[in-house]
Structure 1
Amino acid sequence: MRNVNSFNMYKTRTISITSGKGGVGKTTMVANLALALSQKGKKVLILDGDLGMANVDIFFGVKPQGNIHDILAGRKEMKDILTEVSKDVFLIPGGSGVVEFNHMNHFERRAMVEAISSLPLGFDYLLIDTAPGIAENVLFLNSAAQTVSVVITPDPSSFADAYALIKVLNKQYKVNHFAIICNQVRDEQEGLNLYQRFNDVVNRFLYIGLDYWGSVPTDVVLKKAVQQQRLIVRHDVGAESSKAIRQVCSQIERSSKQVESTGGMQMFWDQVVGFA
């Protein structure tokens, strides 16, 4: 097996995109952010970590030739399932019915590490699309990432469930810094107000830091793009929602300069498979 520490030669920023509940537009956000980053000359790897309902591939109009479960079962290698979904955007498909990462046995962990060691170097970003909620595999993926970004909406249940997710990650996994993306808002002002209310509530009960990464309005163009499973930053670059996503992308780039140079993709995977 190749020395997996070779990943440390290239620093990959690892970011989880997560939420307390479903229906907040998380996967749409991941796919569009990945494409927007690639349009800025970055090389992006997406891990579809929504293991029961993996669907990132649908937005790119591709059909993967396998998923993580095939690797754990020994049926395929990473090169067989790694899918280039767009120029400089690659996907590790999650599939469905995949064993939870934290329940892997020794042989499955070894298979995962060997598969990871075969990944090409040179990714600028690893974006992890998690399942919503506080299931163990969701917490595991989030806690292993350098940055946990939480998508919230004006829906009161989204607000409450996002708080619950942050509380569990803080108390159980010692995550003390998060980024917030406000989605499905009317405009930037509503998004900023939503963030400020959320920040006030969180900091009343938890000692953590929250960064505001921006807001994405749900305009008519975005609604239509989601219904048609199209990427708005590709097909409707002039839409307000498309501009907003690119602004979030710029915020990610700015925040990347502040992240410590330690960690990266290998540390993420080490923690996920329990080698850290």
Structure 2
Amino acid sequence: MVSKPVQVIAISGGKGGVGKTNVAINLGCALAEAGKRVALLDADFGLANVDVLLGLKAQRNIEQVIDGQCSLNDIMLAGPAGMKVIPASSGTRRLTRLDNFHHAGLIRAFSDVASQIDVLLVDTAAGIGDSVVSFVAAAQEVLLVVCDEPSSITDAYAMIKVLSRDYGKQRLRILANMVRSEEEGRALFEKLQQVCDRFLEVSLLDAGCVPFDEALRDAVRQQRPLVLEAPSSPAARAIRRLAAQVQTWPLPRRSQGHLEFFVEQLLDPSGISAGRG
């Protein structure tokens, strides 16, 4: 039986504090509620926090998988709404500098679970360091989370510039987060689009916006996803609209496809050619 292709979506934000991890968690839950088999990879190998935000206790993490001590299935945590969580190890610096041998171990590990998931969400670390850019560049889809602050826009532009110039990424999706209105979200997208149109050869796609919502703060305190804790809140409704949109995004053509391609590119990011993203 030929398995379906796995959709790989990297969620990044350039600077920290733009809410990308909460977007990743809630998008994953919304997709799982819609019937998708979702895995969320915490790719912040220095300051992992997805398991903490969800109140999950990770006995083992991806470090043990890389070392060959256990399989990826062994460390996957059962998250809310049926989503699977792949925890990283907080404060372990060696995970930010994996060598080729350990990356090869990751390829084997992910190949083993390819038939079990439909969507892999990759929550990256903040910044535009090599490890962050490698994850983002290898993903099929890039969702860049920005907010209406000068530093967020500047860092987002820097990320887009690196991805388009050095990795051949020609298309990225922009999500305006914590906005006061849809008009503010649209204006934020257009502001970023204008500067990119002027200086870069890249296509930005508007993924919509998520409003600032006090309910999110309460959900974080409860260590629960907003879409489950306050499903009728404005931000939760916006996330569900995003999830519906994600389900219309094109899938990779090959069976299992982009999951294998994604992990393989972590071995050799320079191998990503223009047009393959």
In structure 2, C-alpha distance between the alignment counterparts of 1:126 and 1:213, rounded to whole Å: 18
Corresponding residue number in structure 1 for 2:17: 23
Answer whether contact 1:19 1:150 (CA < 8 A) is retained. yes
Please state if 1:159 is matched with 2:153: yes
In structure 2, C-alpha distance between the alignment counterparts of 1:211 and 1:15, rounded to whole Å: 14
Give the superposition deviation at 1:60: 2.3
Give the superposition deviation at 1:237: 0.8
Cα 1:229–1:240 change in 2 (3 A) is: same
SS in 1 for 2:115: coil
CA RMSD of aligned residues (A): 2.0
In structure 1, C-alpha distance between the alignment counterparts of 2:28 and 2:208, rounded to whole Å: 16
In structure 2, C-alpha distance between the alignment counterparts of 1:105 and 1:244, rounded to whole Å: 40
SS in 2 for 1:16: strand
Cα 1:109–1:20 change in 2 (3 A) is: closer
Q: What is the aligned counterpart of 1:198 among 192, 196, 200?
A: 192
In structure 2, C-alpha distance between the alignment counterparts of 1:229 and 1:199, rounded to whole Å: 35
Corresponding residue number in structure 2 for 1:104: 99
The total of aligned residue pairs comes to 267
**Greater mean alpha carbon deviation, residues 117-126 or residues 34-43:** 117-126
Normalised to the residue count of structure 1, the TM-score between the two structures is 0.90
In structure 2, C-alpha distance between the alignment counterparts of 1:54 and 1:134, rounded to whole Å: 16
Corresponding residue number in structure 2 for 1:261: 253
Give the superposition deviation at 1:85: 1.2
SS in 2 for 1:70: helix
In structure 2, C-alpha distance between the alignment counterparts of 1:237 and 1:69, rounded to whole Å: 34
In structure 1, C-alpha distance between the alignment counterparts of 2:212 and 2:111, rounded to whole Å: 40
Q: What is the aligned counterpart of 1:229 among 223, 239, 242?
A: 223
Please state if 1:243 is matched with 2:237: yes
Corresponding residue number in structure 2 for 1:70: 64
Listed one character per residue, the Cα deviations across residues 30-75 of structure 1 (whole Å, up to 9, x for unaligned) are 0000000011111101110011111111232211221111122233
SS in 2 for 1:261: coil
Give the superposition deviation at 1:10: 2.1
In structure 2, C-alpha distance between the alignment counterparts of 1:144 and 1:169, rounded to whole Å: 10
Please state if 1:86 is matched with 2:66: no
Answer whether contact 1:144 1:268 (CA < 8 A) is retained. yes
In structure 1, C-alpha distance between the alignment counterparts of 2:131 and 2:258, rounded to whole Å: 19
Tell me which amino acid in the other structure corresponds to 1:79.
N
Please state if 1:51 is matched with 2:45: yes
Answer whether contact 2:107 2:260 (CA < 8 A) is retained. no
Answer whether contact 2:9 2:139 (CA < 8 A) is retained. yes
In structure 1, C-alpha distance between the alignment counterparts of 2:140 and 2:114, rounded to whole Å: 20
Residues 114-193 of structure 1 correspond to what in structure 2 (within 5 A)? 114-119=108-113, 121-193=115-187
Tell me which amino acid in the other structure corresponds to 1:272.
L
In structure 2, C-alpha distance between the alignment counterparts of 1:142 and 1:102, rounded to whole Å: 16
Q: Determine what percentage of the aligned residue pairs are the same residue.
A: 36
SS in 1 for 2:113: coil
**Greater mean alpha carbon deviation, residues 194-203 or residues 116-125:** 116-125
